[in-house]
């Protein structure tokens, strides 16, 4: 960093989430020196770092990171590659900023941690919901309540997707880790951050477009409903049937966090640069819960299930 600017490389630059990282880098005065993707439809780079070196060759990209002595590698690849690409970044001498979920299994998380310790560098997962003002306020409220308080929570997150979703890597459980890993990870992480680790994991419904169940956390009982099916979106006065639907009810009261998402990646980067970024340990509870959801038996409409399931299951 001869000129004081942090030097970045990014892998998975053609992906959906990459622009949020490019915006963060640009906003905070960083320099993107190398970018890689197996797809070459990456014109988005021109808007932020037109001089960045781009290659579709993984070995060329790795050599470039070494030659340019990058400070950070940002990982935006499909979920199943997060572990491999994070370790690659550590091995070339870079700190790594990795998108969600940090890994698909607890075993991969352990491998990443071992490599991190051996390298002397750091892995920083993006856990941006922890930085949302409403979520930060909720955490303070819970911390200031009596220690034995238990909260009843209904969580519904419906982010409608078209037919392309099932045909993409996101619809392949081996690549994405399943629906809970792909669209639910940030909410699961947020719940663990505020209400503690899981003591029981139940799955009432699991299909290619929807997963729902029950989590008993240290300080909460959570009924969750996660879906990419536009037909599952309730009529809430929104004119756009493809608009995301986020709804959290805590002890009968709605938590409004409709807004406030725009700059969370930039804020995440700022926290990382200041030394207060999140760690592998911070991601552990959510990865353990994802593993439990993937391997749980589906029990159907019995027990304490989310009310939206009545519509899905008839």
- CATH 3.30.360.10, the chain: domain bounds: 129-259+279-313
Length reported for the chain: 314
- pTM value is 0.95
CATH match for 7-125 among 1.10.10.10, 3.40.50.2000, 3.40.50.720, 3.50.30.30: 3.40.50.720
CB 211 within 8 A of CB 184: yes
Query: Residue 314's pLDDT is what?
Result: 60
- CATH 3.40.50.720, the chain: domain bounds: 7-125
Helix (H, G, I), strand (E, B) or coil at 101: coil
pLDDT in tens, 97-136: 999 999 999 999 999 999 999 999 999 999 999 999 999 9
Query: Residue 3's pLDDT is what?
Result: 63
* Record: fold of 129-259+279-313: Dihydrodipicolinate Reductase; domain 2 (3.30.360)
Which range among 48-52, 54-58, 139-143, 261-265 shows the weakest confidence by mean pLDDT? 261-265
pLDDT in tens, 198-237: 999 999 999 999 999 999 999 999 999 999 999 999 988 7
Beta sheet of 123-125, edge-to-edge order: 53-55, 31-36, 7-11, 72-75, 95-98, 123-125
CB 93 within 8 A of CB 7: no
CB 61 within 8 A of CB 34: yes
């Amino acid at each position: 960093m001869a000129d004081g600017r942090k030097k970045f490389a990014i892998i998975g630059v053609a992906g959906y989430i990459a622009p949020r990282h490019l915006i963060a880098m640009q906003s905070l005065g960083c320099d993107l020196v190398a970018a890689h993707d197996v797809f070459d439809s990456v014109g988005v780079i021109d808007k932020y770092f037109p001089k960045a070196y781009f290659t579709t060759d993984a070995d060329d990209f790795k050599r470039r990171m070494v030659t340019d002595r990058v400070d950070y590698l940002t990982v935006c690849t499909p979920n199943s590659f997060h572990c491999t690409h994070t370790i690659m970044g550590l091995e070339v001498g870079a700190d790594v900023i990795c998108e969600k979920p940090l890994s698909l299994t607890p075993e991969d998380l352990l491998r990443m941690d071992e490599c991190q310790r051996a390298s002397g560098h750091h892995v920083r997962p993006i856990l941006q919901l922890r930085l949302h003002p409403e979520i930060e306020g909720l955490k303070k409220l819970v911390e200031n309540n009596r220690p034995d308080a238990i909260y009843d929570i209904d969580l519904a997150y419906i982010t409608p997707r078209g037919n392309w979703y099932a045909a993409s890597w996101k619809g392949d459980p081996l690549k994405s880790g399943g629906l809970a890993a792909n669209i639910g990870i940030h909410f699961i992480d947020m719940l663990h951050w505020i209400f503690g680790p899981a003591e029981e994991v139940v799955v009432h419904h699991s299909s290619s477009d929807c997963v729902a169940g029950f989590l008993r956390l240290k300080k909460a009982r959570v009924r969750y409903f996660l879906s990419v099916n536009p037909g599952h979106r309730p009529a809430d006065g929104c004119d756009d049937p493809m608009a995301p639907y986020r709804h959290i009810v805590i002890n009968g009261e709605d938590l409004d966090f409709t807004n406030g998402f725009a700059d969370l990646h930039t804020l995440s980067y700022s926290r990382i640069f200041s030394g207060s970024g999140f760690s592998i340990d911070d991601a552990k509870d959510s990865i353990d819960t994802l593993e439990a959801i993937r391997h749980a038996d589906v029990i159907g409409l019995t027990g304490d299930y989310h009310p939206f399931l009545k519509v899905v299951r008839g």
